[in-house]
Amino acid sequence: MRSLITGTGIGVPRHVVTNEALSRLMDTSDEWIRVRSGIQERRYADPGQGSTSLGVIAAGNAIADAGLKPGDIDSVIFATMTPDHVLPGNGPLLQVALGLRDIPTFDIRQQCSGFLYGLELADLFIQSGRYRRVLLVGAEVHTSFMPWHLGWDTLIGQSTREITEAERAENTASRDRTVLFGDGAGAVVIEGRDGVAGLGPIRLHTDGTGAGVLTMLGAGFKRRPFVTHEQIDAGETLPIMSGKEVFKSAVTLMPQAVREVCEVAGVAVESLDLVLVHQANLRIIEGVQKALGLPAGKVPHNIERYGNTTAATLPILFHECRQQGLVKPGMNLMFTALGSGLHWGAALYRT
Ligand SMILES: CC(C)(COP(=O)(O)OP(=O)(O)OC[C@H]1O[C@@H](n2cnc3c(N)ncnc32)[C@H](O)[C@@H]1OP(=O)(O)O)[C@@H](O)C(=O)NCCC(=O)NCCS
């Protein structure tokens, strides 16, 4: 029995925000963002549109693509670092919105590796015989991290007011992070099937000594109360990131994980047909591609249109690759990701 992805779907918000638009809010430029990250535009959710609602769209599309009805799903794994609420998680909210049965829903985090960790869980569920049809969703609304009172609402046509010089200066202080992220959701349906196609092997890693390189200090239960005006004013409800450290870890650890999985599977790296890398930065994606010695055509990317959507990048990319006819039967496809934790890993998928 193998865990086969039988359906995929995405849910991306309607507002397209270009680099040029961002440069009206802070000291940045299309050239800087494009050259450093490869990003040209990203999507922003409407106010009130959370990661559950984007996940519901993606999941509905994936279930239909699998030729199933919501009532056929027998467990849900929802990966997000931007849930609608602290509690409950997005799982029960998605269950109601989609009209799923009384089935278990698991909410997981793992940030940019959320989808990969979800694949591992889904595979274990299916291999154990516990569940047969797992819905795995990765969805994020990052725009809520951004200081909307500083003129961001103008980007989605919610306000026409000019931002002040003071607001511009404040926006510029977080420009190394805010320009990189976008909102979106991707989902897959995974079913147990006989045959050679399907998931595995998967190898996951965690190194908590790297927790500080990408973290958010505000709004945490170590503090009493867990969120204050002072934390917000100090910008502590926005993630902090040591960009260079994350970059170095990403271009080293993702190729290592891919090699590790290839070795376990007895598959030569050069015989991989497609490698889907977490979409955080085009230079990282190209770094991974070069470290593996693969031609650029085997490492597709869509970061230019979405930016980093954290748990959603891999299912969105996989869906688009399928749509573009890049995923053909009999391929060796590799998923790999790295993110806050640090969590990283790779998963082989035979199509
Ligand atoms: C964030 C990142 C794009 C920055 O690229 P970099 O080449 O390391 O750039 P630096 O940090 O050296 O910054 C260079 C300069 O650009 C400036 N800068 C930062 N963000 C900017 C922006 N949006 N627009 C214009 N200038 C910017 C910096 O202030 C710095 O200026 P200085 O030299 O005068 O101090 C890059 O480090 C990166 O992508 N890291 C990985 C991030 C990631 O993947 N995060 C998610 C993980 S899942």
Q: Looking at the structure, do residues 38 and 169 belong to the same domain, yes or no?
A: yes
| Ligand 1 nearest atom to the CA of residue 28, by list position | 24
Distance 63 CA to ligand 1 centre (A): 39
Q: Is 230 exposed, middle or buried (0-12, 13-18, 19+ CB in 10 A)?
A: exposed
Cα separation of 82 and 306, whole Å?
17
Q: What is the pLDDT of residues 263-293, one digit of tens each?
A: 999 999 999 999 999 999 999 999 999 999 9
Of 146, 171, 193, the one marking the end of a domain is 193
CATH of the domain at 27: 3.40.47.10
| Residue 42, both tokens | 């990203």
With a pLDDT cut of 90, the percent of the chain lying above it is: 97
- C-beta 151 within 6 A of ligand 1: no
Same-domain pairing of 143 and 61 = yes
Determine the atom of ligand 1 nearest the C-alpha atom of 280: 44
Domain of residue 18 covers 2-193
- Residues with a catalytic annotation lie at 112, 278, 308
Count H helices, E strands: the chain?
12, 13
Check residue 224 and give its pLDDT.
92
Burial class (CB in 10 A: 0-12, 13-18, 19+), 205: middle
- State in Å: Cα 159 to ligand 1 middle: 29
Query: Best mutation site among 31, 176, 245 for ligand 1, i.e. most ligand atoms within 8 A of its Cβ?
Result: 176
Together in a domain, 61 and 178: yes
Q: Which residues contact 147 (CB under 8 A, 6 or more apart)?
A: 170, 171, 174, 235, 238
> Tens of pLDDT along 304-327?
999 999 999 999 999 999 999 999
Residues 230, 179, single domain; the answer is no
Cβ 220 vs Cβ 308: under 8 Å: no
Structure tokens at 45: 């959710």
Indicate which residue's Cα is closest to atom 29 of ligand 1: 176
- Identify the H or E element spanning 336: strand 332-339
Q: How far is the CA of 176 from the centre of ligand 1 (A)?
A: 5
Alpha carbons 316 and 300: distance in angstroms, whole number: 12
Residues 213, 134 share a domain: no
Q: Looking at the structure, tell me whether residues 203 and 185 fall in a common domain.
A: no
**Which two three-digit tokens encode residue 322?**
């399928």
Please indicate, yes or no, whether residues 186 and 229 belong to a single structural domain of this protein: no
Distance between CA atoms of residues 288 and 246, nearest Å = 13
Structure confidence by residue, pLDDT tens digits, 46-80: 999 999 999 999 999 999 999 999 999 999 999 99
| Shared domain check, 168 and 36 | yes
138 and 179, same structural domain? yes
Tokens describing residue 68: 């199933």
How far apart are the CA of 282 and the centre of ligand 1, in A? 13
| Residues 38-44, mean pLDDT to the nearest whole number | 98
Measured in Å, how far apart are the chain's first and last C-alpha atoms? 14
Residues 256 and 315 in one domain: yes
Which of 193, 212, 227 delimits the end of a domain? 193
Atom of ligand 1 nearest to the CA of 308: 46
Please report which confidence band the pLDDT of residue 17 belongs to, taking 50, 70 and 90 as the band edges.
very high
Q: Tell whether ligand 1 has an atom less than 6 A from the beta carbon of residue 112.
A: yes
The letter for the amino acid at 19 is N
Tell me the pLDDT of the chain averaged across its residues: 97
Domain stop point among 149, 172, 193: 193
Nearest Cα residue to atom 17 of ligand 1: 176
200-229 tens-digit pLDDT:
999 999 999 999 999 999 999 999 999 999
User: Total domain count for the chain?
Assistant: 2
